[in-house]
Amino acid sequence: MRANRHMEDGGHHGIDLAPMLDFVLNLLIFFIIITSFVKRTGVEVVQPNAQTAEQVESGNILIAVEPNGEIWMDRQQVSLPEIRAQIQRMHAIRPQDAVVITADKESQAGIVMKIVQQVREGGIETIAVAANQGAEG
C-alpha cells in the first residue's frame, strides 16, 4: 500500500516555465539587435531644409553640432581635436562606415567645415550633411 501512495504523488507538479523563458530570451535578443541599429548623437538639433536633399541609407557615424558650437559624438560632447582620434578608431574597426554631420540651422558653417576636415584627416572620405527635404529656409 505504501508503494501505491508514492506512485500517485509522482504526477505533474506545477507549470513548465521553459517555453516562457525561451520567449523572454528571444525578446531580449530582439531588442538588443534593434537598439544596435538605432544611433543617436545625444542631442536634438533643428536641421535646415533643402530642396535638393536626398535620402542616404549609409551613415553609421553621427556627429551633431549645436547652435552654440558644441560638438557631440556617441552621446558625448567632444572637442574639435578629439574628432580625428575617434574617427581613426572607428574607421579601423569598420572601414566601410560613412559620417553624417547633423548641424543645427543656427550653427556656424566654419565649425562644420572644420569637422569635415577632421573627419577626412581621420581617414573617412564619405561625408554627408543632414538636412530635411522641403523648401529652403
Domains defined along the chain, listed by start: 2-36 (no CATH), 40-133 (3.30.420)
| Stated pTM of the model | 0.57
Helix ranges (DSSP H) in the chain = 2-9, 18-37, 80-93, 109-121
104, amino acid identity? D
For 42-68, the pLDDT digits (tens) are: 555 555 555 444 555 555 788 888 888
Question: What is the average pLDDT score of the chain?
Answer: 76
pLDDT in the model for residue 133: 60
Lowest mean pLDDT among 52-56, 79-83, 99-103: 52-56
For 4-20, the pLDDT digits (tens) are: 555 555 566 778 888 88
Element (H, E) at 24: helix 18-37
Distance CA 95, CA 1 (A): 76
pLDDT in the model for residue 51: 47
pLDDT more than 90, % of the chain: 13
Element (H, E) at 85: helix 80-93
Lowest mean pLDDT among 25-39, 40-54, 59-73, 82-96: 40-54
Distance CA 53, CA 101 (A): 14
pLDDT in the model for residue 75: 82
Angle at 59 between CA 53 and CA 65, to 5 degrees: 75
